[in-house]
């Protein structure tokens, strides 16, 4: 719902982007949508697998993460130290 985001900055989430499921962490919350899309809250998310930012991901494409799959990703991927420190703050 516009103005009432379900997720907050630093939340680890699973999301759909360009037709594939990804894991990431939210870095920006657009609580009132964006200039191109004002019907839904959107987020900018760092994709933890590719270490790229996915912009304007709508809330309906974001889910709480599958905890086992997320643990496996974090155990096998080299997440930059500064990103790990930021997530742990």
Question: How far apart are the C-alpha atoms of 75 and 1, rounded to whole Å?
Answer: 34
CATH architecture of residue range(s) 11-87: Roll (2.30)
- Domain-wise residue ranges, the chain: 11-87
- pLDDT truncated to tens, each residue of the chain (89 aa)? 678 999 999 999 999 998 899 999 999 999 887 777 778 999 999 998 888 999 999 999 999 988 787 777 777 777 766 676 766 66
Q: With DSSP H G I counted as helix, E B as strand and the rest as coil, what are the percentages for the chain, rounded to 5?
A: 25, 35, 40
Tokens of 24: 């990431």
Token look-up 């912009």 returns 55
Closest CA to 17 of 50, 69, 31: 50
Question: How far apart are the C-alpha atoms of 54 and 44, rounded to whole Å?
Answer: 6
């Amino acid at each position: 719902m516009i103005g009432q985001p379900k997720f907050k900055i630093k939340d680890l989430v699973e999301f759909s982007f360009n037709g594939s499921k990804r894991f990431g962490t939210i870095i920006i919350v657009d609580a009132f949508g964006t200039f191109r899309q004002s019907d839904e809250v959107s987020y900018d998310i760092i994709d933890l697998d590719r270490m790229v930012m996915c912009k304007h991901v709508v809330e309906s494409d974001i889910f709480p993460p599958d905890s086992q799959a997320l643990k496996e990703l974090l155990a096998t991927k080299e997440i930059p130290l500064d990103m790990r420190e930021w997530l742990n703050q």
